[in-house]
Amino acid sequence: MILPLVLLPQSNSAFVQLPYIQLGHRTTGRNNELAVAWHAPDDQSRYQLEYRQKGAWKSAGSLESRRVALPQVSAFRVISGDLIGLDSGAPVEYRVSRDGTIVFNSTTTAPKNDRQEYTFAVFGDCGRGTSEQAQISYQTYKKQPDFVVMTGDIVYDSGRISEYAEKYFPYYNASAALRSVGSPLLRHTLTVGAPGNHDILDRNFSQKPDLLAYFLYWIQPLNGPLTTDGDPLTPTLAGPAEAQAAFRAAAGAAYPRGANYSFDYGNAHWTVLDANRYVNWSDPKLRTWLAEDLRRAQNKTWRFIALHQPPFHTSPTHQAEKQIRAIADIIEKGKVDVVFGGHVHNFQRTYPISVGTKDVSNVANRELNDWPVDTKFDGKKNTRPAGVIYIVDGAGGAPMYDTNLNANPSKWLPFIQNYIADFGFSHVRISGRKFTLEQIDMDGKTVDSITITK
Ligand SMILES: [Fe+2]
């Protein structure tokens, strides 16, 4: 699919936010579905979503319309619909009508099936309103990946509706692809979100009535562990009861369940986890859920995890937040190939790590740094890792951490194979049993690369 780099302006009055491509709540384990979501004014307009690959336009049928009516926030609607029965990997045209008039059209690509080659991009710590964020958006769009995974801290400072409007949509759903602005990534490319601390940690509506937009905007599978306020996954909401009730009404089933989920794409299984410090991943129910999710995915060629706080990294910044190491044993037993994180604002890649039988639920053990690593793996001549590779992809736009460690391997913890404190994103190509990762900088240049084969 050839995408124009500059698009004609569209009539925007039908939208509070223009359409963006999502996995959909229903898309669990199928490769032939996508969802399209947009934000609409709070009025009685009737919207229709249609799509086609070859042949006639098909209607997406009844749309989900959730009214977001929070105190001190202008009411609007989040509308979404499913594109089903798609021809895997083929271009899709879609269009939105309001009261019978077409108000938006765009293109995307149907998810690939398990025999097709595909690419994806990964970055996190991005929605900060910086020029670097715009450049990463632009470079990512230029690569035309099949999908993009955002590894948390998607929108600073608190994942608010007002902050998405200012620091997210203008950068990733811009009308033109320009280095200084961003790109129209979201309308063409499936994006997948993992929640970070800046997205969902603050649950007190007292000062911020428009928190937790993650649960309102991301239309993703609701197949994670069932949770309720105050359990090992979910802090309680705080602030005025009216604000809490309005948020719950707007989020529906997505809150709180949407913080953890899994999906399949091509020949891979992805598990997305909430790694925030309030989550007790030593809890037996959560551990069982994750182990079971990975067990069911053993028929896939690849298994990946996306989360925010990385289990292994070498930056002094955030070094104390290793709580998610509690699941390193499950990750290993579940034969996960690569874990993509963020939180730490740079790029890091570990050697293949094995925690073996060491009890990682023990907090003292988690502090250890001398984990067995496969130093023979170089991703060039030796492409078969013995262990799990952990990537930090926190270089999507927020200011860099610990640049003094660049090109200074003697200062790195022993499990780190490469460290680059510079803005960028990972671009991964999966071709059957071959995985190739390139770390791309703001100039589109490759600054690190590895290949994994099996
Ligand atoms: Fe973070």
The model's pLDDT over 134-154, given as tens digits with 9 standing for 90+, comes to: 999 999 999 999 999 999 999
- Compute the distance between CA of residue 451 and CA of residue 437 in angstroms, rounded to an integer: 6
Output the pLDDT for position 364.
85
Q: Which of 449, 442, 350, 434 is nearest to 392 (CA)?
A: 350
What is the overall mean pLDDT for the chain?
94
Tell me what the mean pLDDT of segment 27-31 comes to: 60
Percentage, residues of the chain above pLDDT 70: 96
The pair of three-digit structure tokens given for residue 27, joined into one six-digit string: 């898309």
Distance 314 CA to ligand 1 centre (A): 15
Band of the pLDDT at 27, cuts 50, 70, 90? Answer: low
Distance 198 CA to ligand 1 centre (A): 6
| CA–centroid distance, residue 95 to ligand 1 (Å) | 36
Q: What is the DSSP letter of 424?
A: E
Confidence (pLDDT) at 7: 42
CA of residue 37 to ligand 1 center, whole Å:
26
CA of 430 to the centre of ligand 1 (A): 28
pTM: 0.96
Within a 10 A sphere around the Cβ of 241, how many other Cβ atoms? 9
Neighbours of 384 (CB within 10 A): 11
Centre of ligand 1 from the C-alpha of residue 199, in Å: 9
Residue predicted with more confidence, 356 or 3: 356
Give bridge partners of residue 341 from the DSSP assignment. 392
* Structural domains of the chain in order of their starting residue, each with its CATH number: 114-453 (3.60.21.10)
Measured distance CA(104)–CA(13) in Å, rounded: 11
C-alpha 261/C-alpha 219 separation (Å) is 11
Looking at residue 31, its pLDDT comes to 74
What's the pLDDT at 28? Answer: 54
The pLDDT value recorded for residue 12 is 54
* pLDDT at position 229 over 70: yes
Which amino acid is located at 354 in the chain? Answer: S
Spacing, Cα 159 to ligand 1 middle (Å): 12
Q: How far is the CA of 346 from the centre of ligand 1 (A)?
A: 12
Q: Length of the chain, please?
A: 454
Q: Which amino acid is at 43?
A: D
99 Cα–ligand 1 center, Å: 42
Q: Please state, for a pLDDT cut of 90, what percent of the chain lies above it.
A: 90
Distance 393 CA to ligand 1 centre (A): 11
Centre of ligand 1 to C-alpha 220, Å, is 21
8-state DSSP, 52 = E
Q: How far, in Å, from the CA of 309 to the mean position of ligand 1? A: 7
State in Å: Cα 344 to ligand 1 middle.
7
The pLDDT of residue 146: 98
∠164-169-173 over CA atoms, to 5°?
170
CA of 9 to the centre of ligand 1 (A): 34
Distance 25 CA to ligand 1 centre (A): 25
CA 62–ligand 1 middle distance (angstroms): 37
Q: 160 vs 36, 154, 208, 268, CA distance in Å? A: 21, 11, 8, 32
Query: How remote is the CA of residue 440 from the centroid of ligand 1, in Å?
Result: 21
pLDDT at position 239: 97
**Is the predicted pLDDT of residue 436 greater than 50, yes or no?**
yes
pLDDT, position 148: 98
pLDDT (0 to 100) of residue 8: 41
Rounded distance from Cα 160 to ligand 1 centre (Å): 15
pLDDT value for 30: 66
Q: Check whether 6 has a pLDDT greater than 80.
A: no
306 CA → ligand 1 middle, Å: 13
Q: What is the mean pLDDT of residues 23-50?
A: 88
Residue 275 Cα to ligand 1 midpoint, Å, equals: 10
Judged against a pLDDT cut of 90, whether residue 450 lies above it is answered with yes
Distance 152 CA to ligand 1 centre (A): 7
Instruction: Using pLDDT thresholds of 50, 70 and 90, give the confidence band for residue 365.
Output: confident
Distance 323 CA to ligand 1 centre (A): 13
Q: How far is the CA of 154 from the centre of ligand 1 (A)?
A: 9
Tell me, in angstroms, the distance from the centre of ligand 1 to residue 145's CA.
24
Residue 363 banded pLDDT, cuts 50, 70, 90 = confident
Q: Which residues contact 154 (CB under 8 A, 6 or more apart)?
A: 124, 126, 127, 168, 193, 195, 196, 198, 199, 214
| Distance from residue 192's CA to the centre of ligand 1 (Å) | 17
